[in-house]
Structure 1
């Protein structure tokens, strides 16, 4: 992608929700490399799927020849953004906040190139706010903020009308974020701020402050929020958020989230979140419409996103785990991997000593697993070819299980038929 077609690319992807002056912004982007920033509040030590829209926006600008600034809000994170929130956030301790800043900052390096003179910048607004006295801030910044304009912002108005109300602390958030834009313009020649559509009020406040304090024209750009077709936020499951940290959300769980995206949402996700080009996008859209059962869009989305976030090893692990879930042979797995794949499968404990010496009769193991209710039913399942050990069909009803039959450190996977699974977990006896 080149800088001359960036706006066009963003538009066909549906990524332009609002701009302050699209024609002038387009001219600015074509005039030469520009600097753009997006802020990220460090409310946790990891980014999650909801952040990917903005991370990818910075990445798109960098690929088009511009310089992105990923701003981690060490200062603004102490207050909390009221935009889109129905009640005030709990304030984090300085120690937890710093830990979150470090974690989010490290993750940004997976997606943006920070090397070289034209590389991205990773900044923390605490660095310029920590020495700013309250009186100085009021004199320099506060006097340039008309209260009437602040009261007219949707993020403020909706909270004032809510039962929770709005504290002075959160009301001040807009001043801090607006000053970030002024500081970045003055110190880093940054003239563009982007964000989600819920950030429009904060962005335009920064643009107005830049005009008053610096006499410069700044620009704002927002993208739609990442939601499902029925308006729900994406990136959440019954277990909680889908994190980018593999220790919080495994590559397998991450992959499964995307491969299970609804047909009504999959093409929008591909447009919003991937760098797949228009020709391939159109082909996937046609396949999704003509043969939805193939789930071509979901498979491509899951593959692209998992490789982006977790690398080639992550996508290989996720695809292997998916094959296991659908009957692929199980070997060289770990307890953790099997626990994730078969999280909802019933499991039973067994004494590991049963696997020593002559081993444990498979018929008894099938009964212990709960897949059969009697030894005769177990024999019948083996005879019919509907009994499986680690997704390999059992044919010998006299088979004795030993430690060689473990699928991982302590687990065996038994199956009856196509979909009825049970785990046996072997622990050392007393």
Structure 2
């Protein structure tokens, strides 16, 4: 549909929208005045990763469109664990670790959102209301609105059961707690929109239904599509591990280098999703050399997350490191599916045999996207940049 609100037009043209519970009504609300929306983030690690970046950018566009974003820190729900997309239960963290993770994650949002001004972002922790709940009153007031039959049909539960993976009663309660979060935010802040990834659709719909059943008010849900790379890999994961947003977890150069190694087929889409560049500017960038466009993507994405000085320093380091071969002059190896680092080194001509490739890895001379390789069974995906020593570099392409 053709949206009238600045917010939904932005999301639509930049590729963020997968599902909306009532598109016309949400569009009307976003056109009529200031809307409050939230995204929740559990505190399972000291940093979020690139898989979380789509929703963070959504909050950013939401605020830039004149609306009020809420960042919900999951200090309470982290104690339970979200089963969505998981084959097994998460490791239980103690309160001290959750608090430390929460404090670390908070700093990430300061680069993306404005916490001052007329539509200042709000950060709140659901532990404030979840940990104090009385079990029986909660079941009577909230639990009675949730159908077990329906809960079993949602992907977050159904996929786990279909794979015959255990699902604890603790995790089964997660969607009830997330629905209750939405109800609390609706009551406290007038929040009428929850946003998240496509795997959260069932949880979000539960929340909108709960608000309607308990308080008789309308609320909305919006999800983004699952973002995958051209090689089919899920965003946020590489052969070298997760791509963390926090500088304490991943150096700025390695973060820049991840974006620089984007596959050609992904550059246009990622410029729209992961940078602030206007669509006209993106078209101009794409009209030129694809490798120059990748440098723009890497620099703009890094500037948002790590600051402009860090982005420019990374770009300068890369230019010096790969001088004379930053683009088409580098050796390339085309693959149909992820291959081992040994096969990648041989395919690029950096090793004549697997034995030689193993010695290169064992000696610390092999790197994937700037990160040292310690396991010779490590897999390499298309879009990765492989280094052998300080002067030999190559690119893995998708066939």
After TM superposition, the score normalised by the length of structure 2 is 0.78
Q: Distance between the aligned counterparts of 1:144 and 1:419, measured in 2?
A: 63
Q: CA deviation at 1:130?
A: 1.8
Which residue of 1 is the match for residue 322 of structure 2?
326
Q: CA deviation at 1:234?
A: 1.6
Which residue of 2 is the match for residue 336 of structure 1?
none
Matches within 5 A, 1:19-418: 19-287=20-288, 291-292=289-290, 295-327=291-323
**Structure 2 gap segments, 5+ residues each:** 325-389, 394-399
**Structure 1 gap segments, 5+ residues each:** 329-417, 422-430
User: Do the aligned partners of residues 86 and 215 (structure 1) sit closer, same or farther apart at CA in structure 2, a change above 3 Å counting?
Assistant: same
Task: Name the larger-Rg structure.
Answer: 1
Secondary structure (helix, strand or coil) at the match of 2:5 reads helix
Q: Distance between the aligned counterparts of 2:189 and 2:163, measured in 1?
A: 38
Structure of higher RCO (CA pairs closer than 8 Å, 6+ residues apart):
2
Q: Distance between the aligned counterparts of 1:15 and 1:273, measured in 2?
A: 10
Deviation by residue 1:64-93 (Cα, 9 ceiling, x = unmatched): 000000001011111111111111111111
After TM superposition, the score normalised by the length of structure 1 is 0.73
Q: CA deviation at 1:3?
A: 8.4
Q: Distance between the aligned counterparts of 1:220 and 1:271, measured in 2?
A: 22
Q: Does the 8 Å contact 1:88/1:164 carry over to 2?
A: no
User: Do the aligned partners of residues 14 and 327 (structure 1) sit closer, same or farther apart at CA in structure 2, a change above 3 Å counting?
Assistant: closer
Q: Distance between the aligned counterparts of 2:73 and 2:14, measured in 1?
A: 26
Q: Distance between the aligned counterparts of 1:112 and 1:314, measured in 2?
A: 19
Which residue of 2 is the match for residue 419 of structure 1?
391
Q: Distance between the aligned counterparts of 1:167 and 1:150, measured in 2?
A: 14
Secondary structure (helix, strand or coil) at the match of 2:193 reads strand
Q: Does the 8 Å contact 2:63/2:119 carry over to 1?
A: no
Q: Does the 8 Å contact 2:82/2:174 carry over to 1?
A: yes
Q: Does the 8 Å contact 1:3/1:64 carry over to 2?
A: no
Q: Does the 8 Å contact 1:251/1:306 carry over to 2?
A: yes
Q: Distance between the aligned counterparts of 2:102 and 2:278, measured in 1?
A: 33
User: Do the aligned partners of residues 35 and 420 (structure 1) sit closer, same or farther apart at CA in structure 2, a change above 3 Å counting?
Assistant: closer
Q: CA deviation at 1:419?
A: 3.3
Deviation by residue 1:375-422 (Cα, 9 ceiling, x = unmatched): xxxxxxxxxxxxxxxxxxxxxxxxxxxxxxxxxxxxxxxxxxx9359x
Deviation by residue 1:240-260 (Cα, 9 ceiling, x = unmatched): 111122122111111111011
Alignment root-mean-square deviation, CA: 1.8
Q: Does the 8 Å contact 2:79/2:93 carry over to 1?
A: yes
Q: Distance between the aligned counterparts of 1:30 and 1:36, measured in 2?
A: 14
The size of the alignment, in residue pairs, is 326
Deviation by residue 1:340-394 (Cα, 9 ceiling, x = unmatched): xxxxxxxxxxxxxxxxxxxxxxxxxxxxxxxxxxxxxxxxxxxxxxxxxxxxxxx
Q: Does the 8 Å contact 1:242/1:254 carry over to 2?
A: yes
